[in-house]
């Protein structure tokens, strides 16, 4: 009993002394996304723009190890376009006949090229911080898409009196408001090939939708199958009710 009370006292002291970092960050405002809801679908044009933002900005630090280049056909790219995108990267391969590793142009079947060979190299290049893999980022963060969008648009000058640690950046939606990642997006940073206005908010929305697709590329098929199952169950229920009434009609 004394041991239990002692442990509870220690836990209470630690809890009181630990800053409530999660509560310090503002709750991300809810955004409307075309892929949310029972009948939601992905906006293919937005996904292609989002991939462009990832490719030109995010891919310099963040990997997407669970995606292959051939998955881009789901975004509306042709097989030839996918081959062109994949060939832009040098992929480690081997060993060859001499037992040595080598690099070759990427192929559609290859996983997305990672910016760093391993986590230690990634930390060394980012001041000790490990840029998270973005394959499942939309599912891994509380508030999901709203959180990603808010982080990308939440960079501000630190308030007066705020003690910002050296090398960190102020973000009102990040826990503790201090984030190692420098502001990644700016007005007009990415020039869209389809002529869409490249505001900061537009770039953030597009790459957020791309990351949502990356986290669940088969969402539309899943929703379509679910709808078919519901229709089948309703029809089956109707048939069973009609059969029951027919069989018991004479008894009643």
Please enumerate in sequence order all residues whose Cβ is within 8 A of that of 23, keeping only pairs 6 or more positions apart, or say none: none
Tens-digit pLDDT profile for residues 180-195: 999 999 999 999 999 9
**What is the per-residue pLDDT for 134?**
96
The pLDDT, as a whole number, for residue 241 is 86
Mean pLDDT of 128-154: 95
How far apart, in Å, are the Cα atoms of 64 and each of 2, 61, 115, 195, 228?
50, 10, 10, 26, 32
Reported confidence tier of residue 172, pLDDT bands at 50, 70, 90:
very high
Residue 252: its pLDDT value, please? Answer: 58
What distance in Å separates the CA atoms of residue 147 and residue 215, rounded to the nearest whole number? 14
Region 233-239: mean pLDDT is 89
The CATH superfamily assigned to 21-67+111-217 is Cytochrome c-like domain (1.10.760.10)
Q: Where are the domains of the chain?
A: 21-67+111-217, 218-252
pLDDT greater than 70 at residue 138: yes
pLDDT at 169 over 60: yes
Identify whether the C-beta of residue 115 lies closer than 8 Å to the C-beta of residue 44: no
10 Å Cβ neighbour count for 204?
Answer: 22
Name 170's bridge partners. Answer: 178
Q: What is the mean pLDDT of residues 91-97?
A: 90
pLDDT interval class at 10 (50, 70, 90): very low
Instruction: Give pLDDT tens digits for 194-217.
Output: 999 999 999 999 999 999 999 999
- Say how far apart CA 3 and CA 13 lie, in whole Å: 16
Altogether, the residues listed in the chain come to a count of: 252
Q: Around Cβ 40, how many Cβ atoms within 10 Å?
A: 13
What is the residue-averaged pLDDT of the chain? 88
What would the pLDDT profile of 13-64 be if each residue is shown by its tens digit? 333 333 434 446 789 999 999 999 889 999 999 999 999 999 999 999 999 9
Rounded-to-integer distance, Cα 170 and Cα 152, Å: 12
Please state the pTM of the whole predicted model: 0.82
> Which pLDDT score is estimated for 7?
40
């Amino acid at each position: 009993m004394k041991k239990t009370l002692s442990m509870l006292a220690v836990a209470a002291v630690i809890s009181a002394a630990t800053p409530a970092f999660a509560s310090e960050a503002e709750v991300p405002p809810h955004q409307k996304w075309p892929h949310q809801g029972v009948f939601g679908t992905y906006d293919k044009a937005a996904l292609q723009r989002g991939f462009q933002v990832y490719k030109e900005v995010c891919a310099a630090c963040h990997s997407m190890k669970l995606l292959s280049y051939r998955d881009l056909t789901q975004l509306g790219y042709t097989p030839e376009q996918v081959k062109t995108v994949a060939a832009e990267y040098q992929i480690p391969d081997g060993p060859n006949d001499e037992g040595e590793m080598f690099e070759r142009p990427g192929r559609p079947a290859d996983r997305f090229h990672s910016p760093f060979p391993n986590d230690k190299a990634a930390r060394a290049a980012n001041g000790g911080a490990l840029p998270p893999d973005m394959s499942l980022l939309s599912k891994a963060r509380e508030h999901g898409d709203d959180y990603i969008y808010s982080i990308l648009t939440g960079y501000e000058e630190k308030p007066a009196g705020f003690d910002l640690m050296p090398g960190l950046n102020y973000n009102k939606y990040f826990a503790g408001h201090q984030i190692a990642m420098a502001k990644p997006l700016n007005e007009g940073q990415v020039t869209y090939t389809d002529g869409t206005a490249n505001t900061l908010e537009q770039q953030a929305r597009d790459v957020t939708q791309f990351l949502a697709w990356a986290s669940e590329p088969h969402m539309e098929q899943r929703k379509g199958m679910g709808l078919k199952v519901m229709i089948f169950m309703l029809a089956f229920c109707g048939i069973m009710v009609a059969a029951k009434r027919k069989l018991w009609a004479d008894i009643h």
